[in-house]
Amino acid sequence: MSLEKWIDKKDLEKLKALENPKVEKVIEEYLTLCKPVKAVVIDDSLEDIAFVRQLSIDNKEEMELGLEGQTVHFDGYFDQARDKQNTRLLVPTDEKEKYGQHINTIDRDEGLNEVLEIMDGVMEGKTAIIRFFSLGPTNSKFSLCALQITDSAYVAHSEDLLYRQGYEQFKRLEGSEDFFYFIHSAGELTDKYVTKNVDKRRIYIDLQENRVLTVNNQYAGNSLGLKKLALRLAINKAVHEDWLTEHMFISAIWPLDKSRKTYFLGAFPSACGKTSTAMVPGNTIVGDDIAYLRIYDSGEVRAVNIERGIFGIIKDVSPKDDPVIYESLMSPRETIFSNILVSEGRPYWMGMGKQVSIPERGINWTSSKLGEWEAGMCCDDDGNVFKFSHPNARYTIRLEELENVDEALHDPDGVEVSAIIYGGRDSDTSVPVYESFSWKHGVYIGASVESETTAATLGKAGVRKHQPMANLDFIVVPLGEYLDAHLDFGKRIAPEKVPRIFSTNYFLKDKRGNYIDEILDKKIWLLWAEKRVHGECSAIETPIGYIPEFEDIKKLFKDAFDFEYSKERYETEFSIRVQKFLEKIERIETIFRNERDVPKEFFTELENQRKRLLEAREKHGMDVISPFLF
């Protein structure tokens, strides 16, 4: 069966121009399976990109708002977040054991048979959209090509904001089969234009073929192949080659006098300050979510943002806490809102500030189930009154729309990485900031990241969840292999170019249970880390790593905020809580002893940390040791 059945002559010429037999084979295979009415091939032209956006509006997947360029999309009531249960890795049964407990797997043959049966005829009556994107800047050693076939114009439009067009990049493949591909269908839609058969929602990841098959969903975390689905494929590819794929922001940290900029990467679990750290006032941003890291010939680590946009949680974006993003969302520019409240053509979301009065009625995320929302409407599955905006409501914009975007966003060589931060949510153990002793010690710190749950989201506060490198949900290789790749990466960096590794914790509480840090205090910890990179301040050696000296922190608070930072607060924040750290080591050791092939260097670092803590407790005779005693 030839492609002429679905694709007109003009679009077929676009495909032929790529001179890539595998591209044509994949397209023909899935058009035959999914059975759309027709297919359109989208290249990098502004005309084609505008066509996709208009198609989303015409298909009623998006609705135009009052400000020029703004649209809103609603996912179905039961399609509001990543579906972890039905996101599975396809693996042969005889290999399942090696993937450990954290990876959700299914037998490869069983999973393929299931999802392909669901996808048989799933695009009937629809138009398939064939897209080409570049993960990372185009014409770069970082570039990875991605082919997307979807029947959702909303998905395709979102990808235009989030990723770099890659049709011309596919030509540079010169027929190579080295690309990712993603097949997506929203499935049968209801009269509200949302996915109907969510019980048959499947997101299956096939590492053997570098592909993801995803069906019966619209929420971007499940449907946009290039987002967290491509992250999984890239982690596997990187681990088996010579580079890293990480769930990290990239930001340029500027000193107060703006005399230089230093690029930092940062990995933080959800609700631990990742976006707010990437967007600290006075710094510039390259990316907020995913980074590729490579070692260049001169021995330094360089990184790129694989994206060009932000798919961000909109809850609590306000003029006070996120002035740059808020201003962008309140201005006429191409923006896609999702699962917020719309009334008289205006968007409303939770936490947008006291200056906004929320309307009593409108269209929102419940509309696919209940019709138009009204204040006081009851009730969700837990008996709660429906919120006017979903807590996971989102915005999608291009990074270029932000005032604080860094000039290196599209640099094909990326940026030189001078430091990496690992952050977690920890109320009673770790200090606000400390530096590792070495790359290997830093890998141990990253692998030991924990995050406490909050009552607001999960109903039970204080439960510690292990989140190695803030990447657990997306790691598709055994943890031992993943750590070994990090350790090996560090060995290949030129000794004078090895990035410094820091740990941060913004959530330490005092004896009364109150947070000690203010929201913007994270700027001080970044400024101190930046000075350490440039050798401009000393530090105190402790069992956990290097911590700041009091006078350095005091001066930074005074210069940045005109705030008098006290010795009493410093001692509270930077005391080493020996017993708490020993308890954490026990938790981490238990987890990794149950994983296969964990590198010996990891356990060496763990034992060294335990030994240092025990020696400090014996020397000082106390479980909480003041920083002034080191």
Residue 522, domain CATH: 3.90.228.20
- Judge if 203 and 250 occupy the same domain: no
Locate tokens 């170019």: which residue?
497
Residue 69 in domain? no
- Judge if 467 and 573 occupy the same domain: yes
Rounded to whole angstroms, the Cα distance separating 193 from 190 reads 5
Q: Count Cβ atoms within 10 A of the Cβ of residue 216 and give its class: 0-12 exposed, 13-18 middle, 19 or more buried.
A: buried
pLDDT given at position 408: 97
Q: Count Cβ atoms within 10 A of the Cβ of residue 610 and give its class: 0-12 exposed, 13-18 middle, 19 or more buried.
A: middle
Domain limit, last residue, from 241, 258, 274: 241
- Judge if 508 and 610 occupy the same domain: yes
Rounded to whole angstroms, the Cα distance separating 82 from 75 reads 12
Q: Does the annotation count 272 as an active-site position?
A: yes
Residue 76 in domain? no
- Judge if 365 and 499 occupy the same domain: no
Token pair of 504 as six digits: 């941060």
Residues near 518 by beta carbon (within 8 Å), at least 6 away in sequence:
none
Residue 68 in domain? no
- Judge if 467 and 565 occupy the same domain: yes
Q: Is the dihedral of CA 330, 254, 288, 129 positive or negative?
A: positive
- Judge if 382 and 480 occupy the same domain: no
Say how many domains are in the chain.
3
pLDDT given at position 454: 54
- CA of 398: how far to CAs of 164, 259, 310, in Å? 10, 28, 6
Blockwise average pLDDT, block size 10, the chain, 630 residues: 90 96 97 97 97 97 97 94 92 84 91 98 98 96 96 97 97 96 97 94 96 96 92 96 96 97 94 86 95 96 97 90 89 96 96 90 89 86 87 94 95 98 93 98 97 55 83 92 97 97 95 90 97 97 98 98 97 97 96 93 97 97 96
Structural domain boundaries, residue 237: 3-61+81-241
Choose the catalytic residue: 34, 272, 378, 379: 272
Residue 196, domain CATH: 3.40.449.10
- Judge if 128 and 215 occupy the same domain: yes
- Model confidence pLDDT, tens digit, residues 299-318: 999 999 999 999 998 998 99
Locate tokens 């295979």: which residue?
29
Domain limit, last residue, from 349, 378, 401: 401
* CA angle in degrees (0–180, nearest 5) for 516-522-526: 140
Name the 3-class secondary structure at 407.
coil
Token pair of 355 as six digits: 């200056």
User: Amino acid identity, residue 457?
Assistant: T
- Judge if 419 and 568 occupy the same domain: yes
What is the maximum span of the chain, computed from C-alpha positions, in angstroms? 81
Residue 71 in domain? no
- Judge if 184 and 262 occupy the same domain: no
pLDDT given at position 461: 55
How many other CB atoms are there within 10 angstroms of residue 77's CB atom? 20
CB of 164 within 8 A of CB of 148? no
Q: What is the residue-wise DSSP string for 331-378?
A: SSS-EEEES-EEETTEEE-TTS-TTSPPPSEEB-TTHHHHSSEETT-B
- pTM metric for this prediction: 0.94
Residue 73 in domain? no
How many other CB atoms are there within 10 angstroms of residue 484's CB atom? 19
Domain limit, last residue, from 225, 241, 257: 241
Q: Count Cβ atoms within 10 A of the Cβ of residue 334 and give its class: 0-12 exposed, 13-18 middle, 19 or more buried.
A: middle
pLDDT given at position 1: 54
- Judge if 133 and 214 occupy the same domain: yes
Reference 221, options 87, 123, 127; nearest CA is 87
pLDDT given at position 463: 77
Token pair of 284 as six digits: 């510039």
Residue 532 in domain? yes
- Judge if 438 and 358 occupy the same domain: no
Peptide bond preceding 379 in cis form (omega within 30 of 0):
yes
- CA of 517: how far to CAs of 175, 270, 427, 508, 542, in Å? 54, 19, 11, 7, 22
- Judge if 273 and 318 occupy the same domain: no
Residue 573 in domain? yes
Token pair of 487 as six digits: 């350790």
Residue 495 in domain? yes
pLDDT given at position 456: 39
